Amino acid sequence: MAGSSHGHTPAAWTGVIIAFIGFCVAGAFMVMAQPAGFWAGMALVLLSPVVGGIMRAMGLGQPKQTYAVQSTPVATREPAGVKG
């Protein structure tokens, strides 16, 4: 995939940053033994793909690739001297 810009979009970066902040919040509150803060951080982690998906739907993500359908059959090569 040389030359691919996979993940280098505002939607991807925003999703990753929100997830990272959620993990940091959850980790900090886990160390402080505060379950409510831990679950708030986990809610941020679960919110990140939703935000990224919404941003992608708004056109801030990588466009989907379209592949051409091959309409001509592929020729097969048979060994020399074989008659079918």
Domain extents in the chain: 10-59
More confident: 66 or 53: 53
What's the pLDDT tens digit per position in 56-84?
888 888 877 766 666 666 666 666 666 65
Please answer whether residues 63 and 6 qualify as being in contact, where contact means their C-beta atoms are separated by less than 8 angstroms.
no
Residues of the chain with pLDDT > 70, as a percent, come to 69
Pick the most confident of 6-10, 48-52, 71-75: 48-52
Taking the alpha carbons of 42, 43, 46, 52 in that order, is the dihedral positive or negative? negative
